[in-house]
Amino acid sequence: MDYLKYKNLLNCSIYHLNQNYNFSKNYILNIFSNKNLSDAYNNISKWKDYKPTPLIELNKLAKDLKINKIFYKDESKRFHLESFKALGGAYAIEQIAKKNNKIIISTATAGNHGRSVAWGAQRLGIKCKIFISKNVSKTREEEMKKFGAEIIRVNGNYDDSFKKCKEISKKNNWQIVQDISWENYSDIPTLIMSGYSVMIKEIVDQLKNHNPTHVILQAGVGGMAAAAIAGIAAYFKKIPEIIIVESNNAAGLLQSIKNNKPTKLNIKKESIMGGMSCGEISLIAWKVLNKSTKHSIAIPDDAVPFVITLLNKAKLSDDKIIGGECSTPGIITLFAAHMNFDLKNKLSIKSDSKILVFGCEGATDKQIYEKLIKIGEQII
């Protein structure tokens, strides 16, 4: 496909080069020990129905963008939860329950994390209370209820649901299992992120002799990106260019890197990439990301339906791929670089590059997915 005709849609991104970039394996593996990461893999890989999610070559996209290889980690096949989040919350609950299985678990979520927590609690017969904002769709609420969770809807955005969760959990002595860390709350998020790092262990086995030159990671609170970087520090032979991409409605990491300190955003407009619409960076994630993010990118929502549809119509790979809203940012970044020579240069993307992107969810909300496909079909 000739993507130049979509230039207006795709040529739009904000870029920042991190002046504090200093990738250090030792520094990262001091935060996430090798033991944390291997414990997570050794436990999760024994779960019933566990199998590595596919690593798919986006061969058609690579040809059209004149890039050697583009690999897409397809998390739509992660258990029956259809997102990498299944690796995190459920793993943390399993570890907590080994010490005390009489507790009540709580969390706040945009959807995918809550599903993982609800599933993890149900597997072990633990009660679970989930706080959601008014922006979380009815479909996502129903999905969590299916796993037996009690849903508490809060009038406000994600941050409000999170505040409420903290307040009520403290009163009732519920154990919060949150994917974000803050002062004196880091053990559980570390377990969650160690669970996410299983993706990188699988990828290293799947890539065989290919060493990616670039890894593009999307960020909400930064947990997934930091976990993937920990996995890279532990398992990769060569350190790739690390690019972190956010929605430009919620580019808290980019802003924090610019300010050289964690910077909370007041989200004015929610991104359709719901899982990434977060105003605050997780503290441990920040410790990793502030030194290991080389390139920071922010993208608008406009290209999301287009990319979901290209994946669905097998325009990027031999077979159709079901990727939800948060699965698009890596590909959108590659399109933006294709349209803008200066950006491509800054990211050092060349014809021999081997690029890894993450399709971190499937159609986790079927209604939204169908709606976005309709919009995408009109654009194509």
Ligand X SMILES: Cc1ncc(COP(=O)(O)O)c(C=O)c1O
Binders of ligand X among 70-89, rule CB under 6 A? 83, 85
In what helix (H) or strand (E) does residue 322 lie, and over which residues does it extend? Answer: none
Q: Which stretch binds ligand X (CB under 6 A): 48-56, 58-66, 219-227, 308-316?
A: 219-227
Determine if 326 is a binding residue for ligand X (CB under 6 A): yes
What gap in Å lies between CA 152 and CA 157, rounded to an integer?
13
What gap in Å lies between CA 298 and CA 296, rounded to an integer?
7
Determine if 115 is a binding residue for ligand X (CB under 6 A): no
Determine if 361 is a binding residue for ligand X (CB under 6 A): yes
Nearer to ligand X, 221 or 311 (CB): 221
Nearer to ligand X, 116 or 353 (CB): 116
Nearer to ligand X, 28 or 339 (CB): 28
Q: Which stretch binds ligand X (CB under 6 A): 97-105, 204-212, 275-283, 336-344?
A: 275-283
What gap in Å lies between CA 32 and CA 44, rounded to an integer?
17
Determine if 220 is a binding residue for ligand X (CB under 6 A): yes
Q: Which of 73, 52, 82, 115 is nearest to 362 (CA)?
A: 82
Minimum distance, C-beta of residue 280 to ligand X, in the bound complex (Å): 10
Please pick, from the candidates 96, 276, 343, 357, the single residue that binds ligand X as defined by CB under 6 A: 276
In what helix (H) or strand (E) does residue 226 lie, and over which residues does it extend? Answer: helix 223-235
Nearest residue to ligand X by CB is: 275
Count, residues near ligand X per rule CB under 6 A? 20
Determine if 256 is a binding residue for ligand X (CB under 6 A): no
Minimum distance, C-beta of residue 199 to ligand X, in the bound complex (Å): 12
Nearer to ligand X, 64 or 141 (CB): 141
Q: Which of 7, 4, 9, 3 is nearest to 300 (CA)?
A: 9
Q: At what angle do helices 89-99 and 34-44 cross, to 10 degrees?
A: 90
Sheet containing 150-153: give its strands across.
Answer: 150-153, 127-132, 104-109, 175-176
Amino acid at 339: M
Minimum distance, C-beta of residue 102 to ligand X, in the bound complex (Å): 29
What gap in Å lies between CA 170 and CA 53, rounded to an integer?
37
In what helix (H) or strand (E) does residue 218 lie, and over which residues does it extend? Answer: strand 214-218
Half-sphere exposure of 46 (CA within 13 A, CB side): 6
Determine if 218 is a binding residue for ligand X (CB under 6 A): yes
Determine if 360 is a binding residue for ligand X (CB under 6 A): yes
Determine if 178 is a binding residue for ligand X (CB under 6 A): no
Minimum distance, C-beta of residue 4 to ligand X, in the bound complex (Å): 29
CB-based contacts of 285: which residues, under 8 Å, 6+ apart? 180, 181, 189, 193, 219, 221, 222, 223, 225, 226
Minimum distance, C-beta of residue 57 to ligand X, in the bound complex (Å): 21
Minimum distance, C-beta of residue 369 to ligand X, in the bound complex (Å): 12
Minimum distance, C-beta of residue 171 to ligand X, in the bound complex (Å): 26
What gap in Å lies between CA 298 and CA 251, rounded to an integer?
6
Q: Are 277 and 249 in contact (CB under 8 A)?
A: yes
Minimum distance, C-beta of residue 375 to ligand X, in the bound complex (Å): 19
What gap in Å lies between CA 85 and CA 366, rounded to an integer?
17
Q: Which stretch binds ligand X (CB under 6 A): 28-36, 120-128, 272-280, 289-297?
A: 272-280
Determine if 112 is a binding residue for ligand X (CB under 6 A): yes
Determine if 219 is a binding residue for ligand X (CB under 6 A): yes
Amino acid at 221: V
Determine if 199 is a binding residue for ligand X (CB under 6 A): no
Nearer to ligand X, 218 or 353 (CB): 218
The secondary structure of 91-105 as a DSSP string is: HHHHHHHHH-SS-EE
Determine if 279 is a binding residue for ligand X (CB under 6 A): no
Contact positions vs ligand X (CB under 6 A): 83, 85, 110, 112-113, 179, 218-225, 275-276, 278, 326, 360-361
